[in-house]
Amino acid sequence: MPQRPLHPRSLAAQAMGKIDPLTRGVVPPIHVSTTYIRDPDNAYSSGFVYGRPDNETVREAESVLAMLEEAPAGALLFGSGMAAATAVFQALSPGDHVVASKVMYWALRAWLLTEATRWGLKIDFVETDDLDALRAAVKPGVTRLVWAETPSNPLWTITDIAAAAEIAHAAGAKLAVDSTCASPVHTRPLTLGADIVMHAATKVLNGHSDVVAGALCAREDDAFWNGIKTVRKMQGGILGPFEAYLLMRGMRTLHLRQERQAASAMALAQRLSAHPLVARVLYPGLPQHPGHDIAARQMQNGFGYMLSVQVTGGEKAAIASAAQVELYKRATSLGGVESLIEHRASIEGEGSPCPTDLLRLSTGIEDVEDLYADLDQALTFGHR
């Protein structure tokens, strides 16, 4: 009788259950060799040739992520989220047209505005949560890639992945989704029609703020996916084995962390919505959020760990409030077990779509009452 299929939570908790054949250890070892012995006939029966394109520890971490994302074609790990994201664009050809989210990770937007044009790519930015605008921007037979970030950082707008996939595919384009701020616990874009899903694995996939990594997962093992593999291989963008080991360790507790973080983020969003010093809370879990209905349809186990607040006193009060936190940490990045706060407009600089009165909050695993009390006192002192 076949065994009942295991839940992804169980598979991730045991890193797919692989046992080290040498020691019988339940924790996979770290494979650090950069070169491998050839067979007498000069072949490589082990399947490994050199450390730049391949590594066993990296493969094991990729298998966990591919399982979580339900990615039939597998996953690829990179040395950073930017390395993963840019590899997708570098697999395109000069002259290709791309449509990308107007609200997205600021460093990638900056790269697309500068470096991508040197690759000969033509980029149009639109609000991908506006399907009419997306449909108007996509050019049948010309657009090769639609890049959507959802929830989008730091305004947390929601793109309808299934609808965006339909628009992209009708035009002959691929849909890639940056799902960093959702994670496979909440959204699995490939099951909704996306072709590629990207993660800054530095964030919640690792969850401990001690690894810089990026990841891509694919629905089809086609020419485009193989082109991305070639980019990683030839440019040496693979993640190191020690970082892959730490990332795999982080993914073993992903479900526990994400469910706690999402529950706390929802509780904070609800309470802050009634705070007299908060003008607006941006969080897709709130019924008044413009993308709430779509988020409720395509997200599970909560609405993610990220939210933003716009304070009543404007930019000055926002910066002053961030300066008063005691439990939250004033730092960039997101997704770790520690809660972070940041005034994004001053970080992103000129051209940022981020309102100047906005504070971005990454919710960790601390006690939610402590988190709210810290924000309450910080807002109070920041408005004096």
Q: Are strands 122-126 and 97-101 parallel, antiparallel or unpaired?
A: parallel
Dihedral angle sign, alpha carbons of residues 35, 41, 47, 52? positive
| Strands annotated E in the chain | 74-78, 97-101, 122-126, 143-149, 174-178, 196-199, 214-218, 278-282, 306-311, 329-330, 340-342, 358-362
160 given a catalytic annotation: no
Cα separations in angstroms, 46 against 21, 42, 169: 15, 12, 39
Catalytic one of 102, 105, 245, 257: 105
Task: Give the residue from 263, 265, 283 showing the smallest Cα distance to 339.
Answer: 265
Cβ count near 95 (within 10 Å): 11
Residue 27 exposed, middle or buried by CB count within 10 Å (0-12, 13-18, 19+): middle
Catalytic one of 129, 160, 178, 357: 178
Side chain identity at 205, as an amino acid letter? Answer: L
Catalytic one of 9, 18, 52, 122: 52
122 given a catalytic annotation: no
178 given a catalytic annotation: yes
357 given a catalytic annotation: no
Q: Is the Cβ–Cβ distance between 241 and 31 less than 8 Å?
A: yes
DSSP 56-117: HHHHHHHHHHHHHHT-TTEEEEESSHHHHHHHHHHTS-TT-EEEEESSS-HHHHHHHHTHHH
Task: Give the residue from 241, 229, 293, 247 showing the smallest Cα distance to 65.
Answer: 247
DSSP state of 6: P
Q: Token digits for 341?
A: 């706060």
Q: Are strands 74-78 and 358-362 parallel, antiparallel or unpaired?
A: unpaired
Kindly list the catalytic residues: 52, 105, 178, 203
